[in-house]
Structure 1
Amino acid sequence: MPTQHSLPSLSRRDMFKWSAAGLTATSTCGWFEQLAARGAEAARQGVKHKSCILLWMDGGPGQIFTFDPRPTGFKAISTSVPGIEIAEALPRVSQQMQHLALLRSMTTTEFDHGRAHYEMHTGFRAGAGISFPSIGSIVCSEIADPEFELPNYITSGFRPSRIPGPGHLGPLWIPTTLDNPAAGLEDLQAARQLPIEKRVSLIQRLDARFQQEHGVASAEAHRRGYEGIVRLLKSPKAAAFDLDQEPAKNRARYGSGEFADRCLMARRLVEQGVPFVEVVLPGWDTHSQSAERSKELTAQLDQPMAALIADLHERDLLDDTLLIWMGEFGRDPRSGRGHFPTAWTSVLGGAGLQTGQVVGRCNPKGTEVVDRPIKTGDFMATILHALGIDYHKQYSESGERPVTMVAEDSQHVEQLFG
């Protein structure tokens, strides 16, 4: 569990608010008191928590076909920022460049998909003897809204087995998976067909069974999860999961297909306050016919990503939403085929960053970083810093030695912050 800081007491007005919501010290779940106190402190300090949308390109996208074009890949086109060029396959995204920063000097360690997936989700290499939490679990454990009725961490497009868990943070921060964004939360729709008395009875029976099968610690997290489901069933914010409520004109703006629906769902969720949403576009493991397959994938990417950026900006959400675009590594810039963690590109946007710029540079062949190398720990530190999280914080894992939030000696990318 995270190290605890002293928590402020609630004012009478704060206590009244939480009492009305049924979340005072008499609640069956003790964590509400701490969350309420944190929320009251944030309100007194005028803190506005940020959200994060991670666009994960599963398989490893080729930088020469996306954000670092070279003669071996797609042609370069100009963008909305003079002097910055990206691949011709992303014409709509190119017109949102003022909201993005290209990190063209990523240099990481893992060539294997599974190990690189773990590294880029946790900031650490697998096999260190510690179960590190995913970036989504870290973010939610630090900035989750105490008054929030929706799941804090939502992924769309991954099989559950592919998602790095919450590690030493515990099962409270396991993500909610959304299989089909067009269908919304199908389990939620089914549960709403039951009368409230049957819903509560169902939860109690499932909770008792779960405790028998999995033990006390897991059962406690499971119980808290079902309390969250009850809040979700009662919440008008659950409408965020229903894409049919989006105006047709704006839905068409994102285009068609599952990735388009996932991007639109991400905007609807952060608009309601969800701290972390991960959206997956699979298929980037392009060992053969790399140019043809990358053309197909960038066609799926361009319109939804551009629409998401513009939509967030127009709704005054972009300054409070960190947008991340990345995969587990890049592709060999000489061919666009092989796995290539040595020198590749990721993209950050929003969250008040200094955007409309390129950070870092590779040699002319794109095979080696020659300016401002960004290691995995630096990248993770940058994400956390952008979200207002102190990445120097340490955790105590089961009373044993402290565990750092990011790799030691990691530093955020200063060029992105004013």
Structure 2
Amino acid sequence: MDPIQLNQARVTRRQLFGKTATGLGIAALSSLIKNDALAGNSNAPAIPGYPTSTPHAKRVIYLWQGGGPSHVDLFDPKPLLQKMAMQDLPESIRGTTRLSTMTSGNKAWPIIPALKPFRKNGKSGIEISDMLPHTAAIADDLCLIRSMNTEAVNHAPGVTFFLTGSQIPGRPSLGAWTTYGLGSESEDLPAFVVMTSSDRQKSCGQLFFDYYWGSGFLPSRYQGVRFRSTGDPVPYLTNPNGVSQAARRSLLDDIRSINQAHLADYGDPEIDTRISQYEMAYRMQTSVPDLLDLSDEPQHILDLYGPDVLEKGSFANNCLMARRLIERGTRFVQLMHAGWDQHNNLHTQLAIQCKDTDQPSAALVTDLKQRGLLDDTLVIWGGEFGRTPFGQGDPTNPKGRDHFGKAFSLWMAGGGVKAGHVHGATDDFAWNITQDPVHVHDHQATILHLLGIDHTKLTYRYQGRQFRLTDVHGHVVKGILA
């Protein structure tokens, strides 16, 4: 019997009130005691019996594009917008669609057509904008969804909704749910790693909040570990001056003994988290320098990711690191890139943003494919919503596009999705979905399904109810499954 199980059998009155006062509660504790991961085995699935079905994907790389990439300019060609340039978007199309306060009171709705032409690509003939030539080159590997939709109209609620299943902060993130259900494949690196970047001019970036990769009410061992772009990737990874590796090991052993005694007496799973994270940090002192050493990467691979690949903190560098992480057993890698919020600089910044992200994104898919890793690695590219087909600002000379969540696009590759496939469709104005809508919860349910998890069964009891990533919603999008 492990310390937590033993503790359940003998809880003193003081311990009972202590647990209840800290919000953990007996109910929450009882839902954790059968968790294998809490016994210190970081490689074991967190829940016995998971995955519940044969997984198509073993791991996920989420290329998050913060700010709302314009589907109208990049992924959803609409020739009628060109013919109706600068005319008002018809009221019959707009209807009562909820918009942000920046444009909801507009008296003019001047249509802006796509900035660059769209072309058919590959054998599949998927139409993608000339602004994304590298992505277009891998069209036959992509599953492009043109019918995404969300209720969110602003950034933080939109990102939170996509990554946690709720617009209100506090729920576990997608990566946390994944590692809670499946555990880790690595002893020496975190199961869930996050890296951030932004457009090179930092002209329209969004803030990245910790709860985008947090564990919410799950034990904190499942939260994402953020790798920094400057200094040590993880704080305090290197030993202080004058402290040898042997001295560090001896110190950790003593701390572990104290924490294990506390765990045996109190049974708080967060103490076990503390023990395991100290041990992980120690092992990362060796594994992380090896991860960051790119001397073993052939020049043609570096060239594949583009000129920024050796610049720490760039999206290109993070994409290469994502591949190296999943090779070493990391389960979930989340790259958070800001810069797609073009309210008043669409005609200049969209091209810059595409230049920063297009080649590295396509390179990652190509690199995984040629290494035989794409089949069981799910790559996702997308943001919290799309952009309006009408312009924002001076109606005679609009400079940008507003947020738009009623219909937008994202793409997926590998990991059991159809390659060279377009799912869903919108009307001639990219405003209303006309075929196969995919809601945020459907997207989340499908990701878990591809990982071999039934989204209705991966639950956690908290404050008297069973919670899940998809709340009480969501259906697997069978039309995109290979």
Q: TM-score range by the shorter chain?
A: 0.7 to 0.9
Q: What is the match of residue 15 of structure 1?
A: none
Q: Structure 1 residue aligned with 2:279, among 227, 234, 248? A: 227
Q: What is the match of residue 407 of structure 2?
A: 343
Equivalent-residue separation in structure 1 for 2:231 and 2:294 (angstroms): 6
Equivalent-residue separation in structure 1 for 2:334 and 2:346 (angstroms): 25
Q: Structure 2 residue aligned with 1:174, among 215, 220, 223? A: 223
Which residue identity lines up with residue 479 of structure 2 in the other structure? Q
Change (3 A) 1:5 1:239: same
Q: What is the match of residue 325 of structure 1?
A: 381
What is the CA-CA distance between 1:160 and the residue it aligns to?
5.5
Change (3 A) 1:305 1:396: closer
Q: What SS class does the counterpart of residue 168 from structure 1 fall into?
A: coil
Report the count of equivalent residues. Answer: 389
> Equivalent pairs: percent with the same residue?
29
Which residue identity lines up with residue 66 of structure 1 in the other structure? L
Q: Deviations over 1:309-352 (max 9, x none)?
A: 11000000000110011111111123351010111011111002
Q: What is the match of residue 251 of structure 1?
A: 302
Q: Does 2:173 align with 1:134?
A: yes
Equivalent-residue separation in structure 1 for 2:33 and 2:410 (angstroms): 34
Q: Report if the CA contact (8 A) 2:57-2:415 is conserved.
A: no
Q: What SS class does the counterpart of residue 92 from structure 1 fall into?
A: helix
Q: Report if the CA contact (8 A) 1:105-1:373 is conserved.
A: yes
Q: What is the match of residue 21 of structure 1?
A: none
Q: Structure 1 residue aligned with 2:291, among 234, 240, 246? A: 240
Q: What is the match of residue 157 of structure 1?
A: 196
Q: Deviations over 1:84-112 (max 9, x none)?
A: 10111111111111111111001100111
Normalised by the size of structure 2, how large is the TM-score? 0.72
Q: Report if the CA contact (8 A) 1:185-1:241 is conserved.
A: no
Change (3 A) 1:409 1:226: same
Structure 1 stretches lacking a partner, 5+ long: 8-24
Q: Report if the CA contact (8 A) 1:133-1:169 is conserved.
A: yes
Q: Structure 1 residue aligned with 2:432, among 333, 354, 368? A: 368
Q: What is the match of residue 17 of structure 1?
A: none
Q: What is the match of residue 126 of structure 2?
A: 84
Structure 2 stretches lacking a partner, 5+ long: 1-27, 83-112, 198-207, 309-313, 392-399
Q: Structure 1 residue aligned with 2:165, among 105, 123, 129? A: 123
Equivalent-residue separation in structure 1 for 2:139 and 2:416 (angstroms): 14
Change (3 A) 1:295 1:197: same
Q: What SS class does the counterpart of residue 143 from structure 2 fall into?
A: strand
Q: What is the match of residue 260 of structure 1?
A: 316
What is the CA-CA distance between 1:81 and the residue it aligns to?
3.4
Q: What is the match of residue 52 of structure 1?
A: 60
Q: What is the match of residue 22 of structure 2?
A: none
Equivalent-residue separation in structure 1 for 2:148 and 2:137 (angstroms): 23
What is the CA-CA distance between 1:290 and the residue it aligns to?
1.0
Equivalent-residue separation in structure 2 for 1:42 and 1:363 (angstroms): 41
Q: Report if the CA contact (8 A) 2:378-2:412 is conserved.
A: yes
Q: Report if the CA contact (8 A) 2:145-2:423 is conserved.
A: yes
Q: Greater Rg, structure 1 or structure 2?
A: 2
Q: Report if the CA contact (8 A) 2:382-2:410 is conserved.
A: yes
Q: Report if the CA contact (8 A) 2:377-2:415 is conserved.
A: yes
Q: What is the match of residue 95 of structure 1?
A: 137
Moved more, 139-148 or 96-105: 139-148
Q: What SS class does the counterpart of residue 61 from structure 1 fall into?
A: coil
Trace 1:370-389 onto structure 2 (pairs within 5 A): 370-389=434-453
Q: Deviations over 1:377-408 (max 9, x none)?
A: 10101111112222111423247211133132
Equivalent-residue separation in structure 1 for 2:254 and 2:342 (angstroms): 47
Change (3 A) 1:163 1:409: closer
Normalised by the size of structure 1, how large is the TM-score? 0.83
Q: What is the match of residue 108 of structure 2?
A: none
Q: Does 2:423 align with 1:359?
A: yes
Change (3 A) 1:3 1:103: farther
